[in-house]
Amino acid sequence: MSSNFKTSEIGNESFLEDIALRNELLRDLFTSQSARDYLLPKLTIVSLNSNQVLSEQGDKIEVIYFPVDSVVSGLAIMEDGTTVETSMVGRDGLVGIPAILGSGISRQWIWVSISGTALQLDPRFMESVFVNNESALRVLLRCYRSVVTQVSQRCVCNTRHTILERLCCWLLMIHDRVGGSNLRLTQEMIASRVGARRAGITVAAGMLQELGGIEYRRGHLCVRNREVLEQTVCECYDIMQAEFRRNLISSGGGRPFALAGEAA
């Protein structure tokens, strides 16, 4: 249970719904009253702490998470201990898609990069919604497509682009998903996500600070001028940002989906 909320608030259904609607995938699902009524009582508000490990590679995924203002990373860890972030999920999606698509096993380490609030759910409840409704399944597949696009594009980015470009891309992605400019980030953590040496991150961050794009001190990074990052970033960001924006477009303008037995 999150320590950021009062017990009376957490037990209040309208408060819980307000938190849930801040995650765009849940917002899309809740366009169906039946989906809302079915899923809402089963959601639990939790606090995720920076560097918290939600699952290790090979673990069975017991719960899924819908980040609200937190960001969760999928990390590949090499035998020598080095790490590379392959994907990040924030308010645009959910953490634990394999549990719904049939695998149920985590193929990577799932690590919290930005602390904050999330909603927790037993994956069986989500699976029952998607299995019974084609429209709901499309919501999940859109989220899955976004993750696949991100993973494949970041593979290209890590191979072809400079540390400075990759750092700008990562910071912009974090900024999009958190929705705020003040971030608790150490250079060591950034290096592990970007797949670069800490010394390289120090140099790149210093360049961005000189340009007025960011301000960094003692584990605290503030995005001062987003335009500086956008002018410096590689083309990979635009490709991944397009998918992110699609996930932020509410499905309310289209035909709302219905659960089995509900009129569409």
Q: What is the model's pLDDT at position 222?
A: 93
Residue 31 has pLDDT above 60, yes or no: yes
Q: Which residues in the chain belong to E strands, given as ranges?
A: 44-48, 53-55, 64-67, 71-77, 83-89, 109-114, 116-121, 182-184, 214-217, 220-223
Look at 217 and 9; give whichever has higher pLDDT: 217
Least confident span in 21-30, 71-80, 131-140, 254-263? 254-263
Q: What is the model's pLDDT at position 135?
A: 74
Residue 16 has pLDDT above 80, yes or no: yes
d(CA 260, CA 125): 14
Q: What residues does 95 pair with on adjacent strands?
A: 65
pLDDT in tens, 84-143: 899 999 998 999 998 887 778 998 899 999 999 999 999 999 888 888 777 778 888 888
Domain 162-233 CATH class label:
mainly alpha
Query: pLDDT-based confidence at 245, cuts 50/70/90?
Result: confident
What distance, in Å, lies between the first and last C-alpha atoms of the chain? Answer: 35
CA distances (Å), origin 63, targets 44, 51, 111, 145: 11, 18, 14, 21
Domain boundaries, the chain: 7-133, 162-233
Query: pLDDT-based confidence at 256, cuts 50/70/90?
Result: very low
d(CA 83, CA 223): 25
223 CB-contact burial (10 Å; exposed 0-12 / middle 13-18 / buried 19+): buried
Name the average pLDDT for the chain: 85
CA atoms within 13 A on the CB side of 131: 10
Look at 258 and 6; give whichever has higher pLDDT: 6
Identify the CATH assignment for 7-133 out of 2.60.120.10, 3.30.1240.10, 3.40.50.300, 3.40.50.620: 2.60.120.10
196 CB-contact burial (10 Å; exposed 0-12 / middle 13-18 / buried 19+): buried
Q: What is the model's pLDDT at position 264?
A: 36
Residue 193 has pLDDT above 80, yes or no: yes
